[in-house]
Amino acid sequence: MEVDGYTHTSPEAHERDEERDRRLAALGLRVMRFPDARVLKDLRGVLQEISEVLEDEEYG
């Protein structure tokens, strides 16, 4: 899980994030990104989304 704040809004940061995600995916890892504002305002929804992905991964 990664909580992205203001520093992830620039095109350069977005490119770095995509490259890191590709490298992690190559290792068999999945990245979930959430804007920090969403985590602060909708933590329950973020946790529900994480839970759903984990259930899909476990039983899918």
Predicted TM-score (pTM) of the model is 0.76
- When mean pLDDT is compared across 22-31, 35-44, 50-59, the lowest value belongs to 50-59
The residues, ordered by sequence, that sit 6+ positions from 3 with a Cβ below 8 Å of its Cβ are 33, 34, 35, 36, 39
- Reference 35, options 27, 26, 45, 25; nearest CA is 45
Q: Per-residue pLDDT for 10 more than 70? A: yes
High-pLDDT (> 90) share of the chain, %: 68
